[in-house]
Amino acid sequence: MDFPDLIVSVCIISFCIFLISDKELKRVRKDIVDKVSKDVIKQLLDGLLDDGVLNDGEKDSVLEENVSRADRACCLIDIVKKKGDQASRKMIAQLQSIDPILHSELAFNNKEKTYSLFIC
């Protein structure tokens, strides 16, 4: 068959997704607790509330039931870990946006998956 007028174009779009699980968050928990500031914790709480990871009651309980910075960080991480991998990824993404220096100091074992989308 001859298709002289047929033009086929293929566009390939590739993108990477870095997967961070609740196990990774658990592994770096101590480093986060040791290094995160009170201001960053408050910003994380606001960001996770906006992302739908936390509700108002959870945010308030982290702030009201925990006096020290370290206790607030522990409580926040524990709440997020219990919510699973997606919540953990959102917290790490928030941390990267709010405090890129701390994020870079944490040794995440990112599992990179590359996906390709073919459009004809």
Q: Is residue 3 part of a domain?
A: no
pLDDT digits over 54-81, tens only?
Answer: 999 999 999 999 999 999 999 999 999 9
Strand partners, 18: 112
Which tens digit of pLDDT belongs to each residue from 83-112? 998 998 899 889 989 999 998 888 655 544
Range of the domain at 45: 11-119
- What sign does the dihedral 97-99-104-108 (CA atoms) show? negative
Residue 6 lies in a domain: no
Task: Dump pLDDT digits (tens) for 32-54.
Answer: 999 999 999 999 999 999 999 99
**pTM, two decimal places:** 0.72
Number of domains in the chain: 1
Confidence of residue 8 (pLDDT cuts 50, 70, 90): very low
Dump the DSSP string for 99-110.
-HHHHHHS----
Tell me if 43 is assigned to some domain.
yes
Question: Looking at the domain assignment, is residue 47 inside a domain?
Answer: yes
Q: Is residue 4 part of a domain?
A: no
pLDDT greater at residue 19 or residue 14 = 19
For the domain that residue 33 is a member of, what is the CATH number?
1.10.533.10
5 within domain boundaries: no
Q: What is the average per-residue pLDDT within 10-20?
A: 45
Instruction: State the chain's maximal CA–CA distance in angstroms.
Output: 77
pLDDT of residue 28: 87
Beta-sheet strands, E only, within 1-120? 11-19, 111-119
